[in-house]
Copies of this chain bind each other. A is one copy, B any other.
């Protein structure tokens, strides 16, 4: 048998850190760091062993530390959205959290050293933080545009300034950066930066706008889909995304196994539901 490409383990909560209204949760998860590539995700069972909520939860892998004092750890950027995430950000250190990772197909990286624009909304930044570094290693010029409702939901700008040539920030309430929405500023940004590849992570309307604006400019797009993913491992069909295959045939494919990263021009956006 070949080495596994994905692991299932009882990860152990090591630490929590608040970041505005978001949370960074560090988990001891041996082996995951080594297998992770930007765009893959971790699927967690939240709420403890007696929770009556069966759906699992997907999270981007924000950072990995292949080895440290506590062994191999990963960090997640968590928005408190529902009972499961509320539980996660309140767990006592040492709590076991069943975790399956890394799952899905990562972002495709350009073969050449080209210009790339990374667009991320709120916790979507967790999908692109590591990507920025990888692209820079390959000699790419990296621009980043981050958006959020407000300052409190913005994360990673400082970190990204170390790798990216430019980092722009847009907030809906204008509490930091420019006031506005990512989708609004996108056309002007792309006209100015002229990337060959646009990477995006965030809600569906942002992904759709990214795909359209990239295509209009002859650029590639790679969009990271974060809709419902109740099982994360391909069994439930709860994550079907309508795409057009390389054979030009329309199909509905599982985002957890065929995605979560898709080529923007392959998605039939009119039929995407959430």
Chain A: residues with CB nearer than 8 A to chain B?
A: 47-53, 83, 87, 90-92, 95
CB distance from A82 to the nearest CB of B (A): 10
Chain B residues contacting A52 (CB-CB under 8 Å) are 50-52
Query: How many copies of this chain does the complex contain?
Result: 2
Q: How far is the CB of A45 from chain B (nearest CB, A)?
A: 12
Complex interface: chain B residues within 8 A of A95 (CB): 90
Q: CA A274 – CA B49 in complex, angstroms?
A: 28
- State the CA gap A51–B53 with chains docked (Å): 9
In the assembled complex, which residues on chain B have CB atoms less than 8 Å from the CB atom of A50?
A: 47, 51-53, 83, 87
Please, which residues of chain B bring their CB within 8 A of the CB of A49? 83
Nearest CB on B from A89, distance (A): 11
Instruction: Return A133 CB to nearest CB of chain B, in Å.
Output: 34
A48: chain B residues within 8 A (beta carbon) = 47-48, 51, 87
- Known pairs A47-B48, A48-B87; list 15 more (Cβ under 8 Å): A47-B50, A48-B48, A48-B51, A49-B83, A50-B51, A50-B52, A50-B83, A50-B87, A51-B51, A51-B52, A52-B52, A90-B92, A90-B95, A91-B92, A92-B92
